[in-house]
Amino acid sequence: MLKFTKDHEWLRLDGDVAVVGITDHAQEQLGDLVFVELPGIGAGFLQGSAAAVVESVKAASDIYAPVSGEVTEVNDAVVQEPGLVNSDPTGQGWLFKMRVADKTQLDSLLDEAGYKAILAG
Amino acid sequence: MTETITSHYLARTPLDALHRRRGARMVPFAGYEMPVQYPMGILQEHLHTRSAAGLFDVSHMGQIVLRAPSGKAEDAARALESLVPADIVALALGRQRYTVFTNDTGGVLDDLMVSNQGDHLFIVVNAACKAADEAHLRDRLAGLCTVEPLADRALVALQGPQAEAVLAALAPEVAAMRFMDARPVTLMGAACLVSRTGYTGEDGFEISVPAGRVEELCETLLESPAVAPIGLGARDSLRLEAGLCLYGSDLDTRTTPVEAALEWSIQKSRRRGGARAGGFPGADTVLRQLSEGAARRRVGLAPEGRAPVRGHTALYRDQQGGEPVAGEPAAGEPAGEVTSGGFGPSIGAPVAMGYVPVADAGVGTLLFADVRGKRLPVRVAALPFWPNRYKRP
């Protein structure tokens, strides 16, 4: 089950490791991505801090850590082929995995209905 | 995330309904709501223009008729030469030329296209500058010329290797036009002014068309499978690969045409020793720089990595800090600045332009761009990045 942030990241929990990416709405708004910069493995981030950068033809956007934790794995495939984030944002287009430091932070995230409500404005 | 801002303060072009029908994402630009992209997306729109043909709405740009009381374009040309460094008097009937309005320090107020239409000059200026340009012309050419902005005309560009075939299907005579020809052409019964020019580096046309006829013309052009509508996003990446300046980014009132590497737009007749040397605002500075060189220069910049290097990024000579370099800039100070940059879809790599001291302007010079606190290597590169394919005479 996916959780969401109001900044358009998604998170999927697998044990105590979270997979993180950007939502379909985010990729559509950004347009064709041409560059992805991912964090180093072992890097630690506080919830809401900038952890990665995606760039479209037009502009660069920060991707924020949905929860605090340490990066355990990054998706080199999207570095090689940024378009994967556009074509499959919640699948092959995932960005990085992080070990969740404090699972209570998950409660601050949106469920799908809550995220859709934000998109509906 | 950037939200699209729509506001009733923004003007709409005569093609607004067409853009919305075709699913364009509209953004505010120079006081207009303009399409930044269509569902095809910026990358594909860019590549489609280079491989087939793209149709661009540039109706937000200013179209101005400059007319002398004598009814002769040559008299209007003499007057206009008091504001621009190009040779306008020698511009033949039906020919067009690129030039700039300069200020008293040789800076650029706007860049523009001028064509000789026999009894008048036809001028196309940037959207964001058009009100100031009109006022400038009226003020400085008072008594010499009338200045007539064409508010009831749209402007569209058809660009790419298929542009000639597509437009010739409506008017066979356009196939005989060469780069920088500009002449009246009747398209679907509408009196148009067609010029063989553009802002993509490709062969193509710009078409000034009565506002009431432009939608019908564009829908007809779009019936060709070769033609796709293209937004401002791809327009920017296309012109950047073609090494063409964007006013407000690569050119402004602090840059002279010599610093901007636009010497080619200043013909011999307007240079020192020429028949009509100088005589435009800031001529002392511009002509001195033409003879002696300027301290800085606009260059192409090719980032060595994959990260795009955007406008306003500082450029350094050293990867870190750095020892003092003789003359300016001081140690650790930027050696220059990127003015335009992004990803070049046809190059398949990031591309940029910027200003650097002449000592650093040689092709191949290694500099470092400060991107998010990291100094990324960039090399000074020859412009254009993408070879132009104009149909030369």
B313 shares contact with chain A (CB less than 8 Å)? no
Query: How is domain A2-102 classified at the architecture level of CATH?
Result: Beta Barrel (2.40)
Intervals of CATH 2.40.30.110 along chain B: 295-393
What residues contact A65, with CB distance under 8 A and at least 6 apart? A20, A45, A46, A47, A48, A49, A50, A51, A98
What pLDDT score was predicted for residue A1? 84
d(Cα B384, Cα B391) in Å, to the nearest integer? Answer: 16
Q: What is the ipTM of this complex?
A: 0.89
Closest chain A residue by Cα to residue B45: A32
pLDDT in tens, B228-284: 999 999 999 999 999 999 999 999 999 999 999 999 999 999 999 999 999 999 999
Contact A35 B37 (CB under 8 A): no
pLDDT in tens, A8-50: 999 999 999 999 999 999 999 999 999 999 999 999 999 999 9
What pLDDT score was predicted for residue B329? 54
Report the gap between the CA of B384 and the closest CA in chain A (Å): 19
What residues contact B330, with CB distance under 8 A and at least 6 apart? B324
Q: For residue B43, give the nearest of A57, A60, A61 by CB distance.
A: A57
Intervals of CATH 3.30.1360.120 along chain B: 11-54+152-236
Amino acid found at B308: P
d(Cα B347, Cα B339) in Å, to the nearest integer? Answer: 19
Q: What is the mean pLDDT of residues B137-163?
A: 97
Report the gap between the CA of B345 and the closest CA in chain A (Å): 8
What residues contact A19, with CB distance under 8 A and at least 6 apart? A11, A12, A94, A96, A97
Contact A35 B350 (CB under 8 A): yes
Pairing, β B96-102 against β B314-316: unpaired
A59 shares contact with chain B (CB less than 8 Å)? yes
CATH code given to domain B11-54+152-236: 3.30.1360.120
Percent of chain B with pLDDT strictly greater than 90: 92
pLDDT in tens, B69-103: 999 999 999 999 999 999 999 999 999 999 999 99
Contact A35 B42 (CB under 8 A): no
Pairing, β B25-29 against β B153-159: unpaired
Query: How is domain B295-393 classified at the architecture level of CATH?
Result: Beta Barrel (2.40)
Amino acid found at B180: M
Percent of chain B with pLDDT strictly greater than 70: 95
Closest chain B residue by Cα to residue A83: B43
Cα B35 off chain centre by: 18
d(Cα B373, Cα B371) in Å, to the nearest integer? Answer: 5
pLDDT in tens, B324-377: 333 455 556 677 899 999 999 999 999 999 999 999 999 999 999 999 989 999
d(Cα B54, Cα B47) in Å, to the nearest integer? Answer: 9
What pLDDT score was predicted for residue B142? 97
Closest chain B residue by Cα to residue A33: B43
Pairing, β B121-125 against β B25-29: unpaired
- Cβ contact B286:B279 at 8 Å: no
d(Cα A101, Cα A119) in Å, to the nearest integer? Answer: 28
DSSP conformation letters of B342-369: EEETTTTEEEEEEEEEGGG-STT-EEEE
A35 shares contact with chain B (CB less than 8 Å)? yes
Mean model confidence pLDDT for chain B: 94
